Amino acid sequence: MREYLKFYIGGDWVDPAQSQTFDVVNPATEEVAGRVAQGSAADVDRAVAAARKAFPAWSAAEPSARLDVLRAVQAAYEQRRPDLGAALTEEMGAPAALANGFHLDLAAGHLAKAIEVAESYAFTEQRGGTLIVREPIGVCGLITPWNWPLNQIAVKVFPALAAGCTVVLKPSEQSPFSAAIFAEILDAAGVPAGVFNLVQGDGPAVGVPLSAHPDVDMVSFTGSTRAGIEIARNAAPSVKRVTQELGGKSPNVILDDADLAGNVAKGVAGVMLNSGQTCSATTRMLVPAARVPEAIEAARAAAEQTTVGDPTGDVGIGPVVSGRQFEKIQALIQQGIDDGATLVAGGPGRPDGLAEGFYVKPTVFADVKNDMTIAREEIFGPVLVIIGYDSIEHAIELANDTEYGLAGNVAGADLEQARAVARRIRAGWVSINDGFDFACPFGGYKKSGNGREWGEFGFEEFLETKGILGYAPEEA
């Protein structure tokens, strides 16, 4: 059983201010997998003080010196990949192939991109008689979720450090093992004391004092819209910058000229990936109304081919993260049935043969109206809804008829038409035919949040802009 009973503060592993722990449950077995120290406001105070103390030297260091440290982190990260992958499978149920593959590759990609951006970034720029200076914002409180633990840590920590900020990380209490190993990696790489700090714990005990702390200059949060609202309220009295990547109910618009069966199968696979626990998952599949029967058959086949089981084995998806999440998903599946949607695949209950573990059947609904609960709420499980549209205008109207605006996809053979549709979707990240790019800005419209992550756009969230007048050339 794993035990992480210290916090990483000021370059050392230190005892928490109080002797409290919480259990981490393996979602595949429903058994306790380890114990982790529960932080408090006193631990947050120590971590913020350490970050504040380290900020002057780290922010004043040459960008090249900071990059040397991040390159050392790259090497240390590669050495710990097996440990990280095993931790992810144990703490949040990611299948081994996914945990050791895409989960780890995403974090590595964000580190490489942070280095690439910082290598050539212009921190100063003269415009006429004014010098524009971009400076690190200061001490950053980073609050990350459990669903893509390393990705969300990496997309915040690495650009923040590259920009010259110091950080205090509060990972999710449901996926704390990988975060502790991440801290070990940064320690082994020689990140200077206080530049990176880790305090484990839940939202009320650690997240609230971190987001409200007067010596924290910025809070970057990824999680639910409900929690994001509370973090913004906590941060408001100190008028600190708050960036948020929140929930989503994203559309996948399959145009009439697209390969329908192929794109439906890809859409199902994308939603089921990571047991549906992806904020940007395109969980509303919009298809031409006349072709809904074709889409149903393709979706049924794809869902039924999705294997569910022990994440240490060769399976498509493992369990969802917790019993609480399992019950929420079950209730929403039943709500879809009660509201009159047609169950195409899956449904309530665990898959056959899986009596223990928080396993959910890969589920597809058809005959869904966009005002149904299952089309409005973020289910955060392996559940897809199929909605028919009458015209491209209707498809765009349906795509935008949501309180969220995080992501979307448009599938079509005519690229000009697909691009025209993508431009009209009110979301921060819209891919065409499932495109992907580490440099593309990622973030939401509406209740999906504010600010952007990934690439140069995420890097700039950690910078302040200063104008210094008086740089006009002297007259002869």
- pLDDT of 455 over the 60 cut: yes
- pLDDT of 472 over the 90 cut: no
In a domain? residue 473: no
Same domain, 402 and 462: no
pLDDT at 467: 97
Same domain, 359 and 234: no
In a domain? residue 341: yes
In a domain? residue 382: yes
Q: Which of 90, 165, 173, 279 is catalytic?
A: 279
Same domain, 297 and 377: yes
Provide the percentage of residues in the chain whose pLDDT is more than 70: 100
Cβ neighbours around 413 below 10 Å, total:
12
Same domain, 217 and 257: no
Q: Is 279 a catalytic residue?
A: yes
- pLDDT of 205 over the 60 cut: yes
Q: Which of 91, 173, 245, 453 is catalytic?
A: 245
Per-residue pLDDT of 327-345, as tens digits, reads: 999 999 999 999 999 999 9
Q: Is 245 a catalytic residue?
A: yes
Same domain, 418 and 457: no
In Å, how far are 25, 142, 180, 240 from 90, measured between CA atoms?
A: 8, 23, 14, 36
Same domain, 434 and 452: no
pLDDT band at 474 (very low <50, low <70, confident <90, very high): confident
Could you tell me the residue range of the domain that residue 353 belongs to?
A: 251-438
Same domain, 57 and 183: yes
Provide the percentage of residues in the chain whose pLDDT is more than 90: 99
Mean pLDDT for the stretch of residues 225-253 = 96
In a domain? residue 169: yes
Mean pLDDT for the stretch of residues 300-322 = 98
Same domain, 275 and 332: yes
Same domain, 236 and 256: no
Same domain, 234 and 310: no
- pLDDT of 476 over the 70 cut: no
In a domain? residue 392: yes
> What CATH code is carried by the domain that includes residue 351?
3.40.309.10
Cβ neighbours around 364 below 10 Å, total:
31
pLDDT at 442: 98
In a domain? residue 266: yes
Same domain, 320 and 349: yes
Same domain, 412 and 363: yes
> What CATH code is carried by the domain that includes residue 179?
3.40.605.10
In a domain? residue 472: no
Mean pLDDT for the stretch of residues 364-383 = 98
pLDDT band at 280 (very low <50, low <70, confident <90, very high): very high
Q: What DSSP string describes 372-428?
A: SHHHHS---SSEEEEEEESSHHHHHHHHH-SSEESEEEEE-S-HHHHHHHHHHS-SS
What's the total number of domains in the chain?
Answer: 2
Per-residue pLDDT of 1-14, as tens digits, reads: 999 999 999 999 99
In a domain? residue 260: yes
Q: What DSSP string describes 134-150?
A: EEE--EEEEE--SSSHH
Mean pLDDT for the stretch of residues 73-87 = 98
